[in-house]
């Protein structure tokens, strides 16, 4: 065991020497081993001529500390910094000051739960060359947060899709979190954020996406402090593609739904909306989820025991509060004639579902992200934060909900 330990220490020492050799390979001048013997007159190089902060061997270094490599005179010839995090070693980009005396990273924020190694070579004003190897580790947070993102990576969505991030903790430092998220599109379009409460951040353009747009979301949340002592965990990207344009307008008074594809009327479908005592919300809603079949129980959305249907076919969620557009097999005479639901929009269907029914036809031609707009209902307009209903907000009001003005 002792022999193995000495072997590991010897290997570590050799690795450090080889690192310095690599750094010095491009240097000229100097004498002695590794070119560090001194200046042209043979005088020895001064010890600790290269100053590195944080100090060598420091542990639990806070994120706010600044990494710097300095020399009092002469110039820094080479600086190599590597950060090891999650078993992955990554070079740290940085730059020298114009006078060559100071090196600093391009991003001053230290990574957390990480180990930094610094290797530097410098030449002082007397021509002495020196090298230094240091390391330090950073603070390991006890608390982390993540974002649950909508839509899914590599999905194809409708033109009304809104990027929505639901955080696992309340966000206090909203501006810091907002700056750490970047949403971009090809072809380019202006995309702006809006906060709903303390733990949800949505992004959208001024108008519906153009078909064919590719949207990329970069989550740079790793080590971002959302609240005191709570730091982000994710550093990832995902993307989605906008498919064809399909928007549907439900007229609750006329008991119809007009379905338009790329501006062209595909069909007018008979529907039933909310009954007078339980009307359907007005406004623009976005398909959030699509279920071939699901159970609907009134107790889960604030009603009593009015209904409990175990096999509702072709169910498409429109709001968080429980508004669906779905097949209706239990009251086949209502669509196109009367409003009898508890707030949902019902299309004629059969038990078990069928593609040959209006509900099945619409389900087969829909995407998550499609817009369903309801008009002429006796209820209020849906709240913009209820589901992906942010299209009911003016562009000015939407932009006003950002933390970074």
Long-range contacts of 351-359 (CB under 8 A, 24+ apart): 351/311, 351/313, 352/293, 352/311, 352/313, 353/292, 353/293, 353/313, 353/314, 353/327, 357/327, 358/269, 358/270, 359/313, 359/314, 359/326, 359/327, 359/328
Indicate the pLDDT class of residue 8, thresholds 50, 70 and 90. Answer: very low
Q: In this structure, is residue 305 part of a structural domain?
A: yes
DSSP symbols for 62-77: -TTS--EEE-SSSEEE
Q: In this structure, is residue 393 part of a structural domain?
A: no
Indicate the pLDDT class of residue 10, thresholds 50, 70 and 90. Answer: very low
Amino acid 3: pLDDT: 40
Do 253 and 291 belong to one domain?
Answer: yes
* Per-state percent for the chain, helix, strand, coil, to nearest 5: 15, 40, 45
Do 222 and 292 belong to one domain?
Answer: no
Amino acid 46: pLDDT: 54
Amino acid 93: pLDDT: 98
pLDDT, mean over the chain:
89
Which has the closest alpha carbon to 327: 402, 393, 271, 255?
A: 271
Q: In this structure, is residue 397 part of a structural domain?
A: no
- The sign of the CA dihedral 335, 336, 342, 347 is positive
Report the relative pairing of strands 256-261 and 246-251 from DSSP bridges. antiparallel
Amino acid 308: pLDDT: 81
Indicate the pLDDT class of residue 312, thresholds 50, 70 and 90. Answer: very high
Query: Mapping DSSP to helix (H, G, I), strand (E, B) and coil, where does residue 314 land?
Result: strand
Q: What is the CA radius of gyration of the chain?
A: 31
The answer, yes or no, to whether residue 337 has pLDDT greater than 70, is yes
Amino acid 300: pLDDT: 61
CATH code, 197: 2.60.40.3710
Structural domain ending residue among the three candidates 74, 105, 138: 138
Amino acid 306: pLDDT: 64
CATH code, 97: 2.60.40.3780
The answer, yes or no, to whether residue 384 has pLDDT greater than 60, is yes
What range defines the domain where residue 69 resides?
A: 2-138
Amino acid 48: pLDDT: 66
Q: What percent of the chain has pLDDT over 70?
A: 86
CB contact at 8 A, 377 and 281 = yes
What are phi and psi for residue 361, nearest 5 degrees?
-60, -45
The answer, yes or no, to whether residue 14 has pLDDT greater than 80, is no
Amino acid 31: pLDDT: 32
Amino acid 15: pLDDT: 44
Q: In this structure, is residue 404 part of a structural domain?
A: no
Between 195 and 27, name the one with better pLDDT: 195
The answer, yes or no, to whether residue 150 has pLDDT greater than 80, is yes
Structural domain ending residue among the three candidates 193, 216, 243: 243
- Spatial distance between the Cα atoms of 313 and 347, rounded to a whole number of angstroms: 10
Return the DSSP state at 54.
S
Do 80 and 170 belong to one domain?
Answer: no
Amino acid 298: pLDDT: 65
Q: In this structure, is residue 125 part of a structural domain?
A: yes
Do 324 and 346 belong to one domain?
Answer: yes
CATH code, 379: 2.40.440.10
Mean pLDDT of 115-125: 96
The token duo for 92 is 């740290």
Do 217 and 258 belong to one domain?
Answer: no
Q: How many domains is the chain built from?
A: 3
Between 297 and 202, name the one with better pLDDT: 202
Q: Which residues are catalytic?
A: 326, 344
The answer, yes or no, to whether residue 24 has pLDDT greater than 90, is no
Q: In this structure, is residue 396 part of a structural domain?
A: no
The model's pLDDT over 242-260, given as tens digits with 9 standing for 90+, comes to 999 999 999 999 999 999 9
- Spatial distance between the Cα atoms of 88 and 192, rounded to a whole number of angstroms: 33
- Spatial distance between the Cα atoms of 99 and 149, rounded to a whole number of angstroms: 46
Preceding omega of 54 cis (within 30 degrees of 0): yes
Indicate the pLDDT class of residue 296, thresholds 50, 70 and 90. Answer: confident
Indicate the pLDDT class of residue 302, thresholds 50, 70 and 90. Answer: low
Amino acid 205: pLDDT: 98
Q: Determine the length of the chain.
A: 405
The answer, yes or no, to whether residue 47 has pLDDT greater than 80, is no
Indicate the pLDDT class of residue 87, thresholds 50, 70 and 90. Answer: confident
Structural domain ending residue among the three candidates 119, 138, 157: 138
Indicate the pLDDT class of residue 19, thresholds 50, 70 and 90. Answer: very low
């Amino acid at each position: 065991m002792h022999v193995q330990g000495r072997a590991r220490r010897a290997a570590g020492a050799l690795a450090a020497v080889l690192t310095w050799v690599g750094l010095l390979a491009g240097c000229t001048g100097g004498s002695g081993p590794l070119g560090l013997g001194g200046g042209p007159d043979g005088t020895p190089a001064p010890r600790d001529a290269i100053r590195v902060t944080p100090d060598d061997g420091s542990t639990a270094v806070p994120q706010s500390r600044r990494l710097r490599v300095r020399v009092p005179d002469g110039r820094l010839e080479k600086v190599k910094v590597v950060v090891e995090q999650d078993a992955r070693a990554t070079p740290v980009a940085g730059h020298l000051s114009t006078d060559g005396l100071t090196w600093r990273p391009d991003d001053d924020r230290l990574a957390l739960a990480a180990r930094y190694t610094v290797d530097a070579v410098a030449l002082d004003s007397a021509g002495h060359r020196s090298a230094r190897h240091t390391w330090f580790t950073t603070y390991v947070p006890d608390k982390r947060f993540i974002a649950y993102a909508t839509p899914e990576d590599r999905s194809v969505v409708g033109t009304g899709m809104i990027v929505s991030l639901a955080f696992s903790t309340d966000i206090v430092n909203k501006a810091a979190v907002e700056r750490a998220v970047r949403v971009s599109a090809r072809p380019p379009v202006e995309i702006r954020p809006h906060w709903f409460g303390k733990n949800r951040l949505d992004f959208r353009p001024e108008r519906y996406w153009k078909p064919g747009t590719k949207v990329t979301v970069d989550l740079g949340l790793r080590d971002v402090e959302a609240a005191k002592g709570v730091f982000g965990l994710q550093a990832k990207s995902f993307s989605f593609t906008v498919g064809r344009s399909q928007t549907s307008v439900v007229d609750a008074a006329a008991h119809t739904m007009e379905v338009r594809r790329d501006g062209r009327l595909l069909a007018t479908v008979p529907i039933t909306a909310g009954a007078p005592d339980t009307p359907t919300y007005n406004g623009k809603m976005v398909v959030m989820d699509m279920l071939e079949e699901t159970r609907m129980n009134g107790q889960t959305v604030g009603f009593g025991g009015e209904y409990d249907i175990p096999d509702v076919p072709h169910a498409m969620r429109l709001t968080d509060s429980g508004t669906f557009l779905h097949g209706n097999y239990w009251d086949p005479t209502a669509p196109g004639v009367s409003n009898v639901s508890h707030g949902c929009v019902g299309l004629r269907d059969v038990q078990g579902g069928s593609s040959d029914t209006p509900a099945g036809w619409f389900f087969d031609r829909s995407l998550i992200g499609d817009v369903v707009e309801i008009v002429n209902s006796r209820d209020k307009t849906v709240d913009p934060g209820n589901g992906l209903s942010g299209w009911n907000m003016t562009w000015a009001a939407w932009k006003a909900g950002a933390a970074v003005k």
